[in-house]
């Protein structure tokens, strides 16, 4: 049965086999509604010094410019919620960075998925994307029926919360498309907005990235701004505050991915131990980790900033 419906069912079955939490499919087309939102976001300088966000504007809105002949955008989610978290009296890193770098782990799974499609369906061309190219992943996930964008701008699923990665496979194959997720289940809740210590979360599902703790501790290469002293709440790499307070995350369940398991040292290190961290310890604790992105110098800068707060 060589039909779009049959192909879609096969792809979703393979995605589940590879450990993906959800898989949805949308037709590759221009993201008309997102175009003015992205333009206004950039005009307001909400991207701060993330100048790469200004590049490839058209490609961010049209996957057919990324993959020649693109017909379908396959959106997938992968759970990273940990069973055990860091000790309380510590400087914290976002839960997504506890284990090995998700870019590599999930990219490999996407390659396996594409290979399976090519093996069993035929000559299909496509590209895999994991938060490293001009793809508006949350918009595509919503169009593919995976969930809705919460007020903190992260995708939420009723059954799983929001502690998951998003990834995409853009291919030149017609498939059966899922219904977009159109219902916002946040209602009147403003917990994420109220809890954000830097007031980065704005009304109407917008975020001022230039005020986000994750931006400061990961993206910003300059000195951390003094006006934000005493607002980081011990976050030294990324920030989970808006997710930790979200009621939907009471449904989050621990992942089963061995490569996302944290090293013992990461969980047990105290503030004093972080303050005395050496480059050798940094390399050991964060081997193959996404934290390497900020480098030893960036992490120690963040720790010093937090230490000066206390």
Question: Domain range for residue 18?
Answer: 4-171
pLDDT in tens, 68-80: 999 999 999 999 9
Q: What is the dihedral of CA 213, 289, 54, 153, to 10 degrees?
A: -50
Would residue 56 count as lying in a domain? yes
Per-residue model confidence (pLDDT) at position 205 = 86
Are residues 110 and 52 part of one domain? Answer: yes
Would residue 126 count as lying in a domain? yes
Structural domains in the chain (count):
2
Reading the chain (310 residues) residue by residue, the pLDDT tens digits are: 689 999 999 999 999 999 999 999 999 999 999 999 999 999 999 999 999 999 999 999 999 999 999 999 999 999 999 999 999 999 999 999 999 999 999 999 999 999 999 999 999 999 999 997 899 999 999 999 999 999 999 999 999 999 999 999 999 999 999 999 999 999 999 999 999 999 999 988 899 999 999 999 999 999 999 999 999 999 999 999 999 999 999 999 999 999 999 999 999 999 999 999 999 999 999 999 999 999 999 999 999 999 987 6
Would residue 82 count as lying in a domain? yes
Are residues 281 and 163 part of one domain? Answer: no
- Parallel, antiparallel, or unpaired: how do β-strands 164-171 and 72-79 relate? antiparallel
Are residues 114 and 10 part of one domain? Answer: yes
Would residue 177 count as lying in a domain? no
Are residues 145 and 214 part of one domain? Answer: no
Concerning whether 131 is annotated as a catalytic residue, the answer is yes
Helices (H), 190-251: 191-195, 213-214, 241-244
127 to 21, 108, 164, 169, 176: CA distances (angstroms): 20, 12, 21, 6, 19
Q: Which among 45, 58, 89, 131 is annotated as catalytic?
A: 131
Supply angle C-alpha 211, 158, 232, rounded to 5. Answer: 20
Which of 143, 171, 199 terminates a domain? The answer is 171
Q: Which residues contact 203 (CB under 8 A, 6 or more apart)?
A: 193
Are residues 273 and 153 part of one domain? Answer: no
Residue with tokens 């498309």, as numbered in its chain: 177
Are residues 37 and 158 part of one domain? Answer: yes
Are residues 196 and 140 part of one domain? Answer: no
Are residues 289 and 200 part of one domain? Answer: yes
Would residue 122 count as lying in a domain? yes
Which of 171, 200, 220 terminates a domain? The answer is 171
Are residues 40 and 10 part of one domain? Answer: yes
Would residue 53 count as lying in a domain? yes
Would residue 58 count as lying in a domain? yes
Which of 107, 136, 171 terminates a domain? The answer is 171
Average pLDDT along the chain: 96
Does pTM surpass 0.75?
yes
Would residue 178 count as lying in a domain? no
Are residues 108 and 65 part of one domain? Answer: yes
Per-residue model confidence (pLDDT) at position 50 = 95
Are residues 196 and 131 part of one domain? Answer: no
Are residues 145 and 62 part of one domain? Answer: yes
CA 161, 210, 86, 194 dihedral sign is negative
46 to 57, 89, 228: CA distances (angstroms): 15, 32, 16
């Amino acid at each position: 049965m060589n039909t779009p419906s049959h192909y879609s069912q096969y792809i979703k079955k393979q995605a589940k086999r590879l450990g993906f939490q959800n898989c949805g499919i949308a037709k590759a087309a221009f993201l008309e509604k997102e175009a003015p939102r992205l333009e206004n976001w950039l005009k307001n300088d909400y991207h701060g010094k993330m100048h790469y966000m200004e590049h490839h504007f058209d490609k961010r809105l049209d996957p057919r410019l990324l993959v020649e002949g693109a017909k379908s955008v396959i959106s997938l989610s992968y759970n990273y919620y940990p069973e055990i978290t860091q000790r309380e009296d510590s400087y914290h890193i976002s839960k997504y960075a506890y284990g090995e770098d998700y870019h590599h782990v999930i990219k490999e799974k996407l390659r396996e998925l594409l290979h399976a499609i090519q093996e069993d369906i035929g000559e299909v061309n496509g590209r895999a994307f994991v938060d490293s190219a001009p793809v508006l992943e949350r918009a595509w996930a919503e169009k593919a029926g995976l969930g809705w964008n919460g007020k903190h701008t992260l995708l939420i699923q009723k059954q799983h919360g929001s502690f998951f990665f998003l990834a995409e496979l853009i291919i030149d194959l017609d498939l059966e498309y899922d219904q977009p997720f159109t219902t916002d289940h946040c209602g009147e809740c403003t917990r994420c907005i109220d809890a954000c210590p830097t007031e980065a979360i704005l009304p109407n599902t917008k975020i001022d990235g230039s005020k986000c703790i994750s931006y400061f501790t990961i993206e910003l290469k300059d000195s951390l701004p003094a006006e934000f002293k005493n607002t980081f709440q011990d976050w030294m790499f990324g920030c989970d505050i808006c997710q930790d307070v979200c009621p939907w995350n009471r449904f989050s369940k621990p992942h089963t991915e061995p490569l996302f398991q944290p090293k013992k040292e990461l969980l047990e290190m105290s503030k004093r131990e972080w303050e005395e961290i050496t480059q050798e310890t940094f390399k050991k604790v964060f081997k193959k980790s996404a934290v390497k992105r900020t480098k030893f110098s960036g992490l120690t800068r963040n720790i010093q900033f937090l230490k000066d707060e206390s």
